[in-house]
Amino acid sequence: MACEPEIASIRLPVLLWARTVFQLQRRSAGRRESGAFLLGRQRGPAAQVTTFVCYDDLDPKAYQNGAIAFHAPGYAKLWELCRRKELQVLADVHTHPGSSVYQSSIDQKNPMVPVAGHTALILPHFGRTAWWSLKGIGVYEYLGNFRWSTGAAESDRINLTLW
């Protein structure tokens, strides 16, 4: 991973995005945060999401307290899955309870993948949002040292595609 070029943009098929959003809505149950890793492959400066895995599939205790707390055994399963299927973690996505898609101080201090260039997305209303668009979704790039770019879905970082 360290010798791969920086990812300039991530292609995300709209039907895969829809499945991700619906899973996060279902797992949030309108009362708690939920999240997923977006997995795929990088080809030069572009990357293609090919699948996703929800946090609680890797760590059954991830949503235990209403907020997300992802534990070491979940990361071990994530890295094993990536190795076995020859995938990378391209981004993560999680839900927030209200309309805010701004990063909380907890989000800022606890990147899911603390590697410069990692992308994090935030969905409002426990995932009850449009699945056909990224409008109204927070998109952030981790810059390292607990600093993040501030961004919105209108950035060129994530692009919904047909396939």
Res 157 pLDDT > 60: yes
* Rounded (5°) CA angle 133-32-151: 40
What is the enclosing helix (H) or strand (E) of 52?
A: strand 46-54
**How far is the C-alpha of 146 from the C-alpha of 63, rounded, in Å?**
23
Q: Which residue has the tokens 């235990």?
A: 64
> Where does the pLDDT of residue 5 fall: very low under 50, low under 70, confident under 90, or very high at 90 and above?
low
pLDDT in tens, 49-81: 999 999 999 999 999 887 899 999 999 999 999
- CA–CA separation, 152 and 134 (whole Å): 9
Which percentage of the chain shows pLDDT scores above 90? 77
Would you state the structure tokens that stand for residue 145, as one six-digit string?
A: 């040292």
Please tell me the predicted confidence (pLDDT) of residue 3: 45
Cα–Cα distance, 55 to 27 (Å, whole number): 10
Looking at residue 19, what is its pLDDT? 97
Structure tokens at 131: 């699945």
CA 80 vs CA 26, 77, 121, 162: distances in Å: 26, 5, 23, 29
pTM: 0.92
For residues 35 and 127, give the distance between their C-alpha atoms in angstroms, rounded to a whole number: 9
Q: H-helix or E-strand containing 93?
A: strand 88-95
Q: What is the mean predicted confidence (pLDDT) over 101-118? A: 92
86 contacts 77 by C-beta, under 8 angstroms: no
Q: Is there a contact between 34 and 63 (Cβ–Cβ < 8 Å)?
A: yes
CA distance 19 to 12: 12
Closest CA to 45 of 11, 5, 12: 5
